[in-house]
Amino acid sequence: MSEGAVLHLKGRVLVGPDDVRDELWVVGGRVTYDRPALARDAISVQGWALPGLVDAHCHVGLDAHGPVDAPTSEKQALTDRDAGTLLIRDAGSPSDTRWVDDRADLPKIIRAGRHIARTKRYIRNYAHEIEPEDLVAYVAQEARRGDGWVKLVGDWIDRSTGDLGACWPKGAVEAAIAEAHRLGARVTAHCFAEETLAPLVEAGIDCIEHATGLTEETIPLFAQRGVAIVPTLVNIATFPRLADAGAGKFPRWADHMRRLHDRRYDTVRAAYDAGVPVFAGTDAGGSLAHGLVADEVLELTRAGLPARAALSATTWGARDWLGRPGLTEGAPADLVVYESDPREDVRVLAAPRRVVLRGQIVG
């Protein structure tokens, strides 16, 4: 498909969950619903179209051991793209992936800079590992380096107790979040444990990753403050394996991880029912493969979210939350075409018929 070619999508265009149109055109890489003068020469694509999918927790430039080189990062991004993920919120990476912005064939990345963790309280080679007195300065640094987000590690295993424990004093977190907001950045945090959550929400945090520790006491607080969660259920599925591996040294932590896993679906459904914003993220790039967004959406439905809510968590709602357009007039033509209606069966997401990125058919 040449750069100046016109694309005509016929079938059903899911502009929103209930806003369905019969066709759209792509002219100059952008969406239009007005028939163009060159319509006779358009390339035709048929099917059910969604806005390009969003993976709201993904790590390009990272693997299980730390930063990776550019060819590996490229392969990660292409794997996500071919699965239909055209917008990534990179929830922490030690690699410089700014070069991706110059590639028209790779997904758009919204970066959160590098993870910020407590010293020796996170995965080796991933994060800036610092003490609380340096938290504000590092948050300011990553706010300037990112694309409107900063990522904290809110809790991790505390070797002194043998269980999950909060990483930051409340005062340090309050000052750090205030500084990020002053610089125009939102803040999210990796959190597994129950007791970590309320202090972070009360400190003004914008989002929590994983959020396995949500309870009937903290869910209303999230709903009241509008704090979003990205459950990463495909990652939480690994908890039993992690617990088995660590049980010999940290039995208390292992039991805790198993309990969090056992109630994961109930936790997500209770949060959704209470009105907590829920978005789809895979946590790809650490120990998990890229290209799993369809699996995560299916997991959200297994947790009890209606199909349209689970779809919105990776399309309409996710794009609105991140401040990126969907299939609106004049928007960049980032869309995925499927054989059948994904609102009826989200498993369709696993088999894109066509992937269109910036107006070009790339898959």
Phi/psi at 81 (5° precision): -55, -45
Give the Cα separation of 225 and 228 in Å (integer): 9
pLDDT score for 39: 75
Looking at residue 4, its pLDDT comes to 64
Q: What is the largest CA-CA distance in the chain?
A: 71
| The predicted structure's pLDDT at residue 273 | 98
- State the pTM of this model: 0.97
What's the pLDDT tens digit per position in 211-251?
Answer: 999 999 999 999 999 999 999 999 999 999 999 999 999 99
Tell me what pLDDT residue 41 has: 81
Summarised one tens digit per residue, pLDDT across range 317-363 is 999 999 999 999 999 999 999 999 999 999 999 999 999 999 999 98
Q: Which tens digits make up the pLDDT trace of 110-127?
A: 999 999 999 999 999 999
pLDDT at position 203 is 97
pLDDT for position 286 = 87
Owner of token pair 């060819």? 71
| Residue-level pLDDT at 1 | 57
> CA 349 → CA 116, 129, 229, 302, distances in Å?
33, 38, 22, 15
Q: What pairing do the DSSP bridges indicate for beta strands 116-118 and 128-130?
A: parallel
Helix pair angle (239-246, 251-262), 10° resolution = 170
Do 16 and 52 form a contact (C-beta atoms < 8 A)? no
Give a three-class secondary structure readout of the chain. Answer: CCCCCCEEEEEEEECCCCCEEEEEEEECCEEECCCCCCHHHCEEEEEEEEECEEEEEECCCEECCEECCHHHHHHHHHHHHHCCEEEEEECCCCCCCHHHHHCCCCCEEEECCCCEEECCCCCCCCCEEECHHHHHHHHHHHHHHCCCEEEEECEEEECCCCEEEECCCHHHHHHHHHHHHHCCCEEEEEECCCCCHHHHHHCCCCEEEECCCCCCCCHHHHHHHCCEEECCHHHHCCHHHHHHHHCCCCHHHHHHHHHHHHCHHHHHHHHHHCCCCECCCCCECCCECCCCHHHHHHHHHHCCCCHHHHHHCCCHHHHHHHCCCCCCCCCECCEEEECCCCCCCHHHHHCCCEEEECCEECC
Can you give the pLDDT at residue 3?
60
Task: Say what the pLDDT of residue 2 is.
Answer: 57
pLDDT < 50 positions in the chain: none
